[in-house]
Amino acid sequence: MLTEIAEVVTVKKYGSNTNLIKVHAPGIASKAEPGQFCNIKVSETNFPLLRRPFSICEVKGEHLFFMFDIQGEGTSILGCKKKGDKLNILGPLGNGFNTGIEFDTAVIVAGGIGAAPFPFLLSRLKKKKVICLVGGRSEAQIITYGMKNIYISTDDGSNGFKGTVVQLAERIKDKFTGGKVQFFACGPNAMLKALKQFCMENNFSCQVSTESAMACGFGICQGCPMPAANEEKYYLVCKDGPVFNAKDIIL
Ligand X SMILES: Cc1cc2nc3c(=O)[nH]c(=O)nc-3n(C[C@H](O)[C@H](O)[C@H](O)COP(=O)(O)OP(=O)(O)OC[C@H]3O[C@@H](n4cnc5c(N)ncnc54)[C@H](O)[C@@H]3O)c2cc1C
Residues in contact with ligand FMN by CB under 6 A are 221, 223
Contact flag: residue 42 with other proteins (CB under 8 A): no
- Of 3, 47, 104, 157, the residue at the interface with its own copies (CB under 8 A) is 47
Q: Which is nearer to ligand X, 135 or 242 (CB)?
A: 242
Q: Which is nearer to ligand X, 76 or 149 (CB)?
A: 76
Other C-beta atoms within 10 Å of 71: how many?
11
Backbone angles phi, psi at 170, to 5 degrees: -55, -45
Measured distance CA(210)–CA(184) in Å, rounded: 11
* Bond before 225 cis per omega within 30 degrees: no
Measured distance CA(135)–CA(113) in Å, rounded: 10
- Of 28, 32, 75, 191, the residue at the interface with ligand X (CB under 6 A) is 75
- Of 7, 69, 170, 248, the residue at the interface with ligand X (CB under 6 A) is 69
Which is nearest to 24 in space by CA: 46, 9, 38, 2? 9
Name the residue with the smallest CB distance to ligand FMN: 221
Give the number of residues in contact with other proteins, rule: CB under 8 A: 32
- Of 95, 98, 212, 245, the residue at the interface with other proteins (CB under 8 A) is 212
Measured CA to CA in angstroms, residue 99 lies from 102, 103, 128, 137 at distances of 8, 8, 11, 29
Under DSSP, the state recorded for 94 is S
Contact flag: residue 176 with other proteins (CB under 8 A): no
Q: Are 104 and 181 in contact (CB under 8 A)?
A: yes
Contact flag: residue 227 with other proteins (CB under 8 A): yes
Contact flag: residue 81 with other proteins (CB under 8 A): no
Contact flag: residue 80 with its own copies (CB under 8 A): no
Give the list of residues 6+ apart from residue 191 with CB closer than 8 angstroms, or none. Answer: 109, 111, 114, 135, 164, 165, 166, 185
Return the one option of its own copies, ligand X, ligand FMN, none that residue 247 interacts with (CB less than 5 to 8 A, by type): none
Question: Binding mask 196-215 vs ligand FES (x if CB under 6 A, - otherwise)?
Answer: ------------------xx
- Of 12, 73, 123, 227, the residue at the interface with its own copies (CB under 8 A) is 73
Helix runs in 26-164, H state only: 26-31, 73-79, 118-123
- Of 219, 234, 245, 248, the residue at the interface with ligand FES (CB under 6 A) is 219
Other C-beta atoms within 10 Å of 14: how many?
14
Positions touching other proteins (CB under 8 A) are 1-3, 41, 46-51, 88, 90, 212-227, 232-234, 239
The binding site for ligand X (CB under 6 A) comprises: 37, 48, 50, 52-55, 66-69, 71-75, 113, 116, 211-214, 242
